[in-house]
Amino acid sequence: MHYWAVTTQSVQVPSRPSCVRIAVFCADKNGVMNLTLHTPLSSVLTNSRRVHALKALGVVSVGDALTYYPFRVADPVPMLALRQAVAGNRMAFAAEVRDVRAIPMNARRGYRVQVAVDDAGYAQRRQSAPSTAILVFFSYKKHYIDWLLSRMRIGTRLVVSGEPSLFNGRLQFTHPDVLTVAYHDDAATQDAERSVFDVDTEEEGLRRVTRPRPVYHASSRISSDIIHETILDLLARLADSESMDERDAQNMSAGSSGEPEIMAMVMDDNTHPAATQLDSGRAWPQTSTAVPDILPEIVRTTAKLMHRYDAFWAIHDPQSVEQFKRGLHTLRYEEAFISQVAVVQMRQQDRQSRSYVCSSRVLLEEFIADLPFALTHGQREVIEDIVSDMGREYPMQRLLQGEVGSGKTVVALAAILQAVGSGYQAVLVAPTQVLAEQHMGTISRMVAGLSETEDGESVPVILLTGGMKLAARRKALAQVASGVPCIVVATHAAFSKSFQAPNLALTVIDEQHRFGVEQRSALRSQGERLPHTLVMTATPIPRSAAMTWFGNLDISWLTELPGGRKPIRTVVVHEEDSSTMVRMFSHIRKRIDAGERVYVVCPRIDEDDEGGDIASDGMSTPIGEEDDAQTRPEPHSVVGIRDRLEGLAQFQGVSFATLTGRDSDEDKQRIMADFSTGVTPILVATTVIEVGVDVPQASCIVIFDADRFGLAQLHQLRGRVGRGGTASWAFLISRIAQPGSLAEQRLDVVQGTLDGAEIAQADLQLRGAGDVLGDAQAGVKSSLKLLRVVQDADMIVGAHEFAEKLLDSHPEVLQEPELAGAVLDLMRGGESQLVSG
């Protein structure tokens, strides 16, 4: 237990008159306490408003702050003379103060400070004609105005960075970033004035204000600039005492009587950035022991990486874009290496575990022989791999990735029968009750004609869902708990504590991304031995990414489509093209009259849904232009489109149904039954139909606001049609996919190919134009914040190979405390979903 003794002392900061540093002295019961990555911000920052604002962003410790990375870095600011200024384009320049005025604002309380400057000397050096400008600052705080006036004296040399505008015909900069420049040439005098001016030379000031500026996810309670200032201050405080600035050391010792102390910067969060200039032009402190390197020295040296502390400085205080990228690369590789050490160790642990040996092929061979169709070459190969895996004494860990409609269910059933035919139990877990019931019907039909198992019993198929009546649920649970060889088709109910399968030899997870890591792991502790695991996904993932995302799994791909499947014709339709829309609706009516079914998909349920997208229905990141949400049209809703289509002449006499995530399980079952039988041949739905819905009569799917869906999701939705051997169509409706736009390019990808891997690769290339840090999310607690599993696939592959070599040649390296702790934190934080199925 730690005991804290806290005292404070106010220390004026000479170079920043508006700021006061509060020395906070924190000590444990032995009188010694140093700032570490685990130190709570509440014990470092005395400004409670800032602490609470950071906490709302998920930043509660010093380590959280250092790993709260900017989502982008602003471009370097160009140095221009005032004559070269362009309104709205940020610039930097040097100038001299010619006039200063503080004017009370009559309309509202407060003051306006106007500083007239000219750039004569600077413009001459840039071979430009001199000019003038006005720097304008507003504030209702008298102490801030007094501080500004004390800095902006006539004759003071300034370095300014800001965005120019024109006001009453004059060039104006509102609240620019300003650094004051020492005007004495004598070196000894400069030392004396170092506490008065921000920089010693104009060149130094220009280097500072033109550097790339990190931009952070902020909130209404705390700005990006304040976040940046806080992080830099914490980084400086983490420096070893011998490398701290001499003045800070003197200030600290003056109030601490030699006791270790933590310095906290206390500033008014509402103070304008002009009053909060950081001395970030200083050289970085020497490496801090408070920020130990996670990567072993051999890894850092071989991969030519920066020390972790230096990498933090490079990201949060970059001197150049190249330096920023180098720090980013170091911390990304760190995350990649940590994740792959976890992969290697998990795979090694799996190989040391014991599972049920499933060696009998009798039931499996009979099943294959009785199939009314021939297996594809790919299906046969994958089945043989699975049979070989399940015949070993350690558990199979295999990922099966297959195109929509490639026959993954048949492969899964073959694996299930290998387990059941060997006298054990198998469970197939589906993400929805609708899909579980469909699997139940399909499997029951396919095993109905099979002979008895080794134990002389017929193959029982048991359904277990959360929507079952209590008596039926108890009966199913009791039958499974008896240990009898059986096939269990379940939803999330299989993850409950009441589900006990003592002889569980195989777990099949359908659409694995729909389940959490803990859920997928729950079935591994059913019996005395670990079950074999087969996870399936139809989500297209580039091969290199799959090999890293599921690094501890053996991976199989199904790329062939079974015989009889016809290609789906995909058409992109602009909604404002009324003639094409009319022809599309007429075509759909003909398909309905021919006895076929039609899906219509919308991104939200009804008009009252704020923001449009229904996350519970699996809405993915929009793929359209990164445009202003205020100018983007509101997304279509299920209710609105149903009402619109019912009023069209083409659909007179046709019954419609709607299906969303809000419907109960009973309603979903009834709605799907009516759709399948043709009672309601048009189903208007959200993306709840994305996975597993199998209606062979469905031949058309219309996806409104297709630009709001991810490419993988569009590919999945398209796979809902064409399952009955008839010609099929997918219509992608868009309102923003203008010629040459990114939205049009992405929709064209889906239109141009049915190959999921090709779609995934194109998606990767198109998304590469985003921010340098990718799609970072504010406030997300995660150990993996920079690593992009798809874009950084090559890096992860290299880290995986390096981790394997080290495990073989120097296993002790992977047990070093910092690395071992980081791996443990990764697994505890839930990121094992990147390394496990």
Task: CATH number of the domain at 381, please.
Answer: 3.40.50.300
Check residue 269 and give its pLDDT. Answer: 35
* Residues with Cβ within 8 Å of residue 30, at least 6 apart in sequence: none
d(CA 766, CA 596): 36
Flag whether 82 is in a domain.
Answer: yes
Residues 603 and 490 in one domain: no
Rounded (5°) CA angle 281-283-288 = 130
- Token pair, residue 78, equals 């160009």
Flag whether 819 is in a domain.
Answer: no
Residues 594 and 724 in one domain: yes
Residues 587 and 713 in one domain: yes
The model's pLDDT over 766-800, given as tens digits with 9 standing for 90+, comes to 654 233 343 333 333 456 788 876 678 888 889 98
Residues 189 and 175 in one domain: yes
Flag whether 293 is in a domain.
Answer: no
Which residues of the chain are under the pLDDT cut of 50? Answer: 1-33, 187-194, 241-282, 516-517, 611-630, 768-781, 831-837
Contact 532, 396 (CB under 8 A): yes
Residues 504 and 574 in one domain: no
Contact 656, 682 (CB under 8 A): yes
Residues 33 and 62 in one domain: yes
Residues 433 and 507 in one domain: yes
Contact 749, 762 (CB under 8 A): yes
Residues 135 and 147 in one domain: yes
498: Cα separation from own chain's centroid: 34
Flag whether 517 is in a domain.
Answer: yes
210, 233, 262: which is the final residue of a domain?
210
Closest CA to 558 of 419, 372, 404: 404
Q: Which pTM does this prediction carry?
A: 0.64
The model's pLDDT over 119-170, given as tens digits with 9 standing for 90+, comes to 999 999 999 999 999 999 998 888 889 989 999 999 999 999 999 999 988 9
Check residue 833 and give its pLDDT. Answer: 46
The tally of CA atoms less than 13 A away on the side-chain side of residue 399 is 26
CB neighbour class for 115 (10 Å; exposed up to 12, middle 13-18, buried from 19): buried
Residues 41 and 140 in one domain: no
Flag whether 415 is in a domain.
Answer: yes
Residues 446 and 508 in one domain: yes
Contact 771, 778 (CB under 8 A): no
Question: Under the phi-then-psi rule, with left for phi > 0, alpha for psi from -120 to 50, and beta for the rest, what region is 830?
Answer: left
One-letter identity of residue 268: D
Q: Each residue of 609-620: b (16+ CB within 10 Å) or e?
A: beebbbeebbbb
Number of structural domains the chain divides into: 4
Contact 6, 25 (CB under 8 A): yes
d(CA 182, CA 533): 70
d(CA 279, CA 282): 6
Residues 102 and 204 in one domain: yes
Flag whether 438 is in a domain.
Answer: yes
Question: Under the phi-then-psi rule, with left for phi > 0, alpha for psi from -120 to 50, and beta for the rest, what region is 618?
Answer: left
227, 252, 283: which is the final residue of a domain?
283
d(CA 450, CA 421): 11
Handedness of CA 783, 288, 262, 221 (dihedral sign): negative
Flag whether 832 is in a domain.
Answer: no
Check residue 286 and give its pLDDT. Answer: 57
Residue-number span of the structural domain to which 586 is assigned: 568-753
Flag whether 546 is in a domain.
Answer: no
CATH number at residue 88: 2.40.50.140
Residues 383 and 427 in one domain: yes
736, 753, 770: which is the final residue of a domain?
753
